[in-house]
């Protein structure tokens, strides 16, 4: 890895750590609010059509599945673009001698 990529990875790890560190405070805050509401309104009526609505867990699982597909698809598109640009980026970054694409070789 390059120094730049090392730094990017370090910042990404810090972001993940910050998100992880919110888990307990958020859970405690939600529990506190739920306890407060339940203590003051023990008979909360069910919502109309509640049986047709997903549970919070079902909704979160569905969104996580979508996010995983989205990231995977985005990676595939980005890698295809990077591969197409590789002859130029290799030359600009002084990685290897430029390789002519099949399209430019056919045009020559």
* Euclidean distance between CA atoms 74 and 66, whole angstroms: 12
Domain shared by 18 and 68, yes or no: no
The string of pLDDT tens digits covering residues 2-50 is 899 999 999 999 999 999 999 999 999 999 999 999 899 878 888 889 8
Cβ atoms 8, 16 nearer than 8 A: no
The string of pLDDT tens digits covering residues 56-105 is 999 999 999 999 999 999 999 999 999 999 999 999 988 865 556 667 66
**What is the predicted pLDDT for the residue at 95?**
81
Maximal CA-CA distance, the chain: 80
pTM of the prediction? 0.66
H helix intervals, 56-95: 56-92
* Number of domains, the chain: 2
Domain region containing 24 = 1-44
Note the residue count of the chain. 108
Record the tokens describing residue 92, joined without a space.
Answer: 């600009």
Domain shared by 73 and 101, yes or no: yes
Q: CA angle at residue 15 from 34 to 64, to 5 degrees?
A: 60
Domain shared by 54 and 40, yes or no: no
């Amino acid at each position: 890895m390059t120094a730049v990529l090392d730094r990017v990875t370090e910042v990404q790890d810090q972001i993940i750590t910050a998100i992880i560190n919110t888990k307990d405070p958020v859970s405690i805050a939600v529990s506190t609010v739920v306890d407060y509401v339940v203590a003051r309104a023990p008979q909360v009526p069910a919502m109309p059509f509640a049986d047709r609505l997903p549970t919070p867990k079902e909704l979160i699982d569905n969104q996580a599945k979508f996010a995983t597909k989205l990231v995977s698809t985005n990676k595939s598109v980005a890698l295809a673009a990077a591969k197409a640009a590789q002859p130029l980026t290799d030359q600009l970054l002084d990685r290897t001698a430029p390789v002519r694409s099949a399209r430019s070789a056919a045009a020559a």
